[in-house]
Structures are given as C-alpha cells and as structure tokens.
Structure 1
Amino acid sequence: MAPDSTGKALSRDEVDRALARLGAEHEAIESSLLALQDHAGRRLLEGAELAGTTRERWARAERLIPLLWTYFDTCTEALHAARQLRARSRYPGEDELRRLSALLDGAHLEVPGPAGEGGRPVEPVGWPELVARVNAGYAGVLDIVAAADAVWSALPARIDLLSAELRRLSALAHSVGVRPGDHPSGDELWRVTEELTALRAEVIADPLAFWISAGGSSAPGGGRPDTARYDRAARALDDIRREVDAVIGVRKDAEERLIRLRDVLSRADRTLAEARTARGEVLAKIAASEVPAVSGPPSLLHEELAAAADYRRRAQWHRLSPLLERLEVRAEEELHRARDSLSAVTVPLAVRAQLRGLLDAHRARAARCGKAEEPLLVERYDAARRLLWTAPCDLRAAEHAVLRYREAAAEALMTRSDS
C-alpha cells in the first residue's frame, strides 16, 4: 500500500502490512531465481553446442538472467533499507512514516536502463513494476529451460532405443538378403538409419525446434515434445520388421513350397499326357465326334519354377516370396485345366461305355422275362453290339440302335404282359 495522492503518509499498521507483503514477494523472487539457477535444463543449455531457434532464444535468456539478479538486488536493498528504518522505533513519528511510505512505494527505485535510451545508465521504476519485470523475465527463461529439458529428457533416450532396435533389425535383414540396393526394405532401413542419426543430432543441438507449446497456457514450460519425426521412423521400422519376418518365413518353408509346386506341376503334366493319349484313343475308336485339342505342358511355369529355385540358391528371398505366391496360384489353375482337358477328351468314351451298359441292361431285363431270344430282339441286339464294339464307333448310329433295341424289348414285354 502506498501513500495517497495527497501525500499522506501510511499508518504504522499499514507500513507493517506493506513490509510483510514486500518481504513475501522478495522471498518468492529469491526462491524462483535460485531454482532457475539450479535447474538441470539450464546447466545443460549452458554446456551445449546449440543451433537454430534454441541458440537464438537462449542467447537472449542468458543476457536476461544477470539482469533479473540485478533487479532482485535492487529489491533486496530497498527492502533492507525499509526494514532498518522501521526497526529504529517501535512507534515511528510522522517524519519516519513519510520516509517509510516513500521507500515502500518504491517509485524511485533505480535499475539499469534499456540499451540505446539516450545513454541513460539507470531508470526509475516502482516496486510493483519491478516485481512484474522479474516475474515476466523469470517465466520467459523458465519456459525455455523447461521446454529444452523436457525435449532432452524425452526424445534422445527414445531415439537411442529405436536405434538399438534398428541395428538389431539391420543385422537380421542383412542375413536374409534384405540389403540396400537389393531390396526396397533394405533401402528403407538405410533411410531410417540416416533419419534417426540426423534427428538425434538436431534434437541435441536445437531442442526448442521440437517443442509444441500448449495453446492458451500461460504456465512456463506448458506444452509437449514434438515426436512426429520419431513416430514416422518408428512406424517405418515396424513395416520393415514385418517385411523381414515375411522374408524369414519364406526362407524357412521355401524348399517345402518348391517341392509342392514341383509335385503339382508334375501331376498337371501327367494329366495332360494322359489327355493326349486318351484323345488319340478317342480319335481311333470313336467316329463322327469332335474331340477338343490338348495343349502342351506349361513351359513358362517350369521356367519360373527354375527361376524360383535359383532365387532360393542365391538367398534372394525378397524376389522368391512374390514369385512363389504367383506360382502356387497358377500351378493349381494349370492342374485344374489339365483335369478339365482329360474330362473333355474322354467324353465320347464315356458315352460309348454308357450305351454299352444300357444295351446290356435292356437285354438282361428281356432275358428275365424269357424274351431275349426272340428273333427281332436278337437281330437288333446284334446290330447295336456290332456298332458299339467296332472301331471306330459311330456314336450317333449306336445310340439309335440301342434305342431301337429298347423299344423292341419294351414292346415284347408289353405283349407278354397282355397275354
């Protein structure tokens, strides 16, 4: 509390209350400046080779810290003088109260003036303004110190852990052929390694470039470290790890998959060979029938299978993996196609066998009824049998002959039933 505009002095109680308030403010300033002096982030900043934003802001902060102590010394002197004057008398007179009021008002405290202000070495300030300057300067410096300390506490250790994982993964990737220049993931490993090395150096030199201030927060050090680049590197490393695991899986079961592929293609080749043999037999035994052509063996698949085996011998797992996946699908398709070809070319033989079975079945039924030896049935049976057991077989004529025999047998059986 200060004297009023009329120049009236403070009362004794008002003086004591003002001294207590200013003493508390002085103690708070001293505690803050001492805490700033001992802050781990401040010591790190003083000993670091800084760059960029951090170097610029810390250079200004370093010039401000001695000025804050100067302000504090001014406060100390003024408070000490007021306390000494108050201690002279338990009941100060009017003159002493006016002098105490002037000291506690602090309107004539002198501090170093701003640079370039007409060469004035000092400037007068009031106690409230001086306290406000100290608080603002302290908050600004603490904001820099706390932010740098938070970034240094968070990012370098995490980068080091990620780098250690990267070295382990690089050794594993190299052992399975995932190398720069040979595999996309090998190139990505090299890129992430370079990125982490650069990121760590930048974080150490310029921590404030990796600080995101909390929007709307006035508290010093409010915010969080910017981990975007670290997070991208970590995600890239996860992707590489999955790719390396896939390559290891290919290496583990490559031989078994190659054996299965050879077996599937071998069965397809045998089926196609059987279809070609069957087609020749059909053409020799069946007349007036269109028999589909049979393709040759899948030479391209065999070439790719040989390439896959070569990739395995050379440990080129990144090339082997997609090739095996394609071959497994196409080999199964080739086997189905070969089976379809065999089924298509043997249809006439199946039809002939079916007609033979029908003819014998109708004759057996007629025989059970005692009608098989009737002249008409014998004649038609012999005609149908000659067609079905003669090469080449005319399927259309044979089918007609079987139909005629069935009709004759049905008529004979109906006549027997009526009689």
Structure 2
Amino acid sequence: MGVPGPFPGSPGRPDAPAPDREEVDRALERLGAEYEAIETSLLALQDHAGRRLLEGAELSGTTKERWAEAERSITVLWSLFDAYTAALESARELRERRRWPSADDLAELTELLNGEGVTVPATDADAETAGGGPKGGDPEGGPARPGERFSLEGLVARINGLYARSLDVIVAADSVWSALPARIDLLSAELQRTRSLAHSVGVRPGEHPAGDDLERITEELSRLRARVIADPLAFWVSSSTGSSAPGGGRPDTGRYDRAARALEDIRREVAAVLDVRQDAERRLMQLRDVLSRADRTLTEARQARGEVLAKIAASEVPAVSGPSTALHEQLAAAADYRRRAQWHRLSPLLDSLEERAEDELHRARESLTAVTAPLAVRAELRGRLDAYRAKAARHGVAEDPLLTERYDIARRMLWSAPCDLRAAEQAVWRYQQAAAEALVPLQREGREES
C-alpha cells in the first residue's frame, strides 16, 4: 500500500494557487487507486491462512500477547479504512455535482482531499488499547485515538503502519507453523523407526544409554511441538539486517536441529549394533583364531625358553607368561551374549576384545622373539664359521694346521651344550683372523703374476 502525494493548493503550501479541475481529477484518480490497493490488502489480510490459524489456536506466551494486539490493530484498520472510504466518497460526490466545478467547489475539494478533515470514530478496540496499547513510539504504527483528525495522506500512512505490524505477526507465525511442525513430525516418524530397530537389538531404556537418549528425544520433540503450536513467535528470529518488511526473519530451528543431531548419533549407534548382529559369528571365529595363535605362540616360546636354558650357557632368558585367562573368559561371555541375542552388550565387548586379542598376539610374538634370541645368535655364528671354512677351502688353505685347530675349537663350542656364546664368538673371530692371514700370501702371489 502506498501513500498519495500532495498536489498544488494542498495545506502546507499556502502560496500555491488553487488546483484546477484536471489536478483535482488526477488527485481523485490517485486516491481511488490507493483505495483499491488498501481494500485488496485488507481483504488478503483477512483471508490469510496464518490469520485463520491464529484465530483458531490456543495461544500462549509471546504469540498470545502479540496476536491480541494485532487483532485490535486489524479492527482499527477497518475503522480507518471506513473513514477513508467515507471521505473519498464525499469528495467524489462533490466532484460529480458539476462537470465544471466552481472555485468554491474546488476549494472545498482541496480541503476534503488535503485538509485534516477525516475524524476517526471510536471502536471497541480503542477501549481495549486505551490502557494497554503502545505509548509513544511510531505515530504511523500505533492505533489512532478516537476523535483524532487526519488528512487522507496521513490516514493512509497510519493504515500502512498498522497493516505492516499486523501482517508481520501473521507472516511470522505462519512461517514457523509451516516450517517446524512438519519437520518435527518427520523427525518423530524417524524416531519411531529408530526405536523399533533399537528394541530389536536390545537397546531399551534402562538397559542401554542410547535407549535412555531415545526417550529423552521423544519427550523433547513432544514438548517442542506443543510449544511451537501454542507460541510460534517464540521460535521466530527477526532479520539481522534491520529490514522493516513484514515477516523479515526466519524460524529458529535450534532445538529441532539439536534433537535431529542427537537422533542421528543414536541411529548410527544402532546401525553399528545391527552390523554386530550380522557379523557376530564371523568376528567371534576370528577372535578365537587370534587367541589360539597367541596361545600356540606362547607355548612355543615356553618350549624355546627351555631349549635355550639347556643349550646356551650364562644367558638371561626372559620368563614367558601363560595365556590370558581374562580374555578367554570375556570371549566366553561374548559367545553367551550372542546366544542370548544381547547385541547391545556384545557390540562394545567385541570391539574391546578384537583390540586386546591383537595386542595379546603381538605380546606372544615378542616373547618368542626375545627367548629365541640366543639361539639366533648361535645360528648366526655357525653360519659365519661355515662360510669362512668354505672360503678357506676354495683357496686350498682349509687343511692348514692352525686353521684346522681353530675351526675345531669353534665348532666344538657351537655344537656342544651348553654353549657359551661369548667364548664361541671369540673362537669364530680367531678362526676368521687366521683364515685372513693365511690368504694374504696367496693374494700377493696373484697380484705379482698379473
């Protein structure tokens, strides 16, 4: 809705000449167009879906207060529009008396169209707002006082202000009702599906934290929906740009978004439990296999330790622990959970067991490596001794008395039990040195011949 502009001869321009017939006709045409726009807007406001919802709803809080004020404003709007209509009709009747209006007619028309000759009648809404309406503030937005006089231009400005305030309440409430209840209902339906799946795998209130969370989300959505229906304006965030356009803002979906995120977390947790139900037997078999390998490795380590103690002298061999009783007990508990279909308990237990079983196998392998280290050293010394013996044989010095003596000493140390690794290593080193010295003359002769 717009505001008509002044024309020559209007109040506020005392020096301007009186308007002629064409100017009066143009002013009446402009005011008539304004009348049509106001009427169309008021009828649209009357038929607005948000207004009908507000009229039929049991409101509370902010919405109840603002809608009561908006209803009073709408009543005043129609009263102002009636006054505007009456003034415009009076001006039209005066203009239609003569085809060529006299100077007195033009002066009277000027006063009707531009003077503050429109008196606002009293309404029931005026009595209600007299004690509780806005005090001060925007003169164009507040209700008119009974008996207050306006020009047609001022009357349109007042209508525009009241219309914008009333429409803002209606549009904001309608926007919240259009956005949130449907989304809450969809989320509630998803919640019911998730709850059914959760119950199928034993995720229930009092038995699993996710079951308790589902109950809390259910209660939160119920409270949220009731609050949105009763007080939609409590969930309206005005535009941060400072726009004065009706409905400038957006619904506040913070509580809904938090509930949706919490439900998504639970849905993923329930999906993980469902995966456990499908893969439980396979994972249990893998766990048994890992623990069996760990037990066999520990058995091998204990046997190797006995061999090392018997065959290697003066060697510190670490002790080897037995299999983990706790892991085997938990594996038995996991199998029992599977038999009883207690998937919500089986899921975290399997996750923990898989990690600890791998750790147990790693520990067993480290124990085997640690206890067999002396045997590995002995094997390395044996290999080194045989390699130097073969090298000496290729050069024809293997039967050298010194080499033969040192080889026999080293071999007896390495192939007898218990083996003193330090002494054996020294014996191998001495054989290596003797072999190197025996090869020097041969290498010198080879260089001289070349």
Shorter chain as denominator, the TM-score bin is 0.7 to 0.9
Aligned match for 2:192, one of 163, 167, 177: 167
| AA aligned opposite 2:159 | V
Would the alpha carbon gap of residues 255 and 8 (structure 1) be closer, same or farther in structure 2, given more than 3 Å must change? same
Would the alpha carbon gap of residues 248 and 97 (structure 1) be closer, same or farther in structure 2, given more than 3 Å must change? same
- Contiguous gaps of at least 5 residues in structure 2: 1-6, 132-144, 446-450
Would the alpha carbon gap of residues 370 and 59 (structure 1) be closer, same or farther in structure 2, given more than 3 Å must change? closer
Match of 1:103 in 2: 112
Q: Does 1:59 align with 2:84?
A: no
CA distance in structure 2 between the aligned counterparts of 1:413 and 1:165, rounded to whole angstroms: 87
Would the alpha carbon gap of residues 29 and 407 (structure 1) be closer, same or farther in structure 2, given more than 3 Å must change? closer
Would the alpha carbon gap of residues 303 and 7 (structure 1) be closer, same or farther in structure 2, given more than 3 Å must change? same
| AA aligned opposite 2:96 | A
CA distance in structure 2 between the aligned counterparts of 1:6 and 1:343, rounded to whole angstroms: 113
| AA aligned opposite 1:304 | Q
Match of 2:40 in 1: 31
Q: Does 1:93 align with 2:118?
A: no
Offset of residue 303 of structure 1: 2.8
> Which deviates more, 328-337 or 163-172?
328-337
> Which deviates more, 284-293 or 376-385?
376-385
- Contiguous gaps of at least 5 residues in structure 1: none
Would the alpha carbon gap of residues 79 and 403 (structure 1) be closer, same or farther in structure 2, given more than 3 Å must change? closer
CA distance in structure 2 between the aligned counterparts of 1:383 and 1:331, rounded to whole angstroms: 47
> Which deviates more, 346-355 or 41-50?
346-355
Contact in 1 for aligned 2:113/2:151 (Cα 8 Å)? no
Task: Give 3-state SS (helix, strand or coil) of 1:122's partner.
Answer: coil
Q: Does 1:44 align with 2:70?
A: no
Offset of residue 370 of structure 1: 7.7
Q: Does 1:349 align with 2:358?
A: no
Aligned match for 1:235, one of 254, 258, 261: 261
Aligned match for 1:79, one of 83, 88, 99: 88
TM-score, normalised with respect to structure 1: 0.86
RMSD: 3.3
CA distance in structure 1 between the aligned counterparts of 2:148 and 2:442, rounded to whole angstroms: 143
Aligned match for 2:314, one of 265, 283, 288: 288
TM-score, normalised with respect to structure 2: 0.80
Aligned match for 1:144, one of 162, 169, 172: 169
Would the alpha carbon gap of residues 309 and 18 (structure 1) be closer, same or farther in structure 2, given more than 3 Å must change? same
Match of 1:262 in 2: 288
The Cα offsets for residues 3-50 of structure 1, whole Å up to 9 and x where unpaired, read as 664898643333323322222222222111111111111111111111
Offset of residue 55 of structure 1: 1.0
Offset of residue 402 of structure 1: 5.3
Percent of aligned pairs sharing the same letter: 71
The Cα offsets for residues 319-354 of structure 1, whole Å up to 9 and x where unpaired, read as 433433333233223222222322332333344445
The Cα offsets for residues 206-230 of structure 1, whole Å up to 9 and x where unpaired, read as 1111122223212222222222222
Would the alpha carbon gap of residues 394 and 9 (structure 1) be closer, same or farther in structure 2, given more than 3 Å must change? closer
Contact in 1 for aligned 2:118/2:149 (Cα 8 Å)? yes
Task: Give 3-state SS (helix, strand or coil) of 2:120's partner.
Answer: strand
Match of 1:329 in 2: 355
| AA aligned opposite 2:77 | L
CA distance in structure 1 between the aligned counterparts of 2:431 and 2:382, rounded to whole angstroms: 12
Q: Does 1:279 align with 2:274?
A: no
| AA aligned opposite 2:29 | A
In the TM superposition, 1:167-246 aligns within 5 A as 167-214=192-239, 215-246=241-272
Would the alpha carbon gap of residues 172 and 376 (structure 1) be closer, same or farther in structure 2, given more than 3 Å must change? same
Offset of residue 382 of structure 1: 5.8
CA distance in structure 1 between the aligned counterparts of 2:22 and 2:444, rounded to whole angstroms: 145
Would the alpha carbon gap of residues 8 and 283 (structure 1) be closer, same or farther in structure 2, given more than 3 Å must change? closer
| AA aligned opposite 2:81 | F
Would the alpha carbon gap of residues 295 and 9 (structure 1) be closer, same or farther in structure 2, given more than 3 Å must change? same
Task: Give 3-state SS (helix, strand or coil) of 1:212's partner.
Answer: strand
| AA aligned opposite 1:68 | L
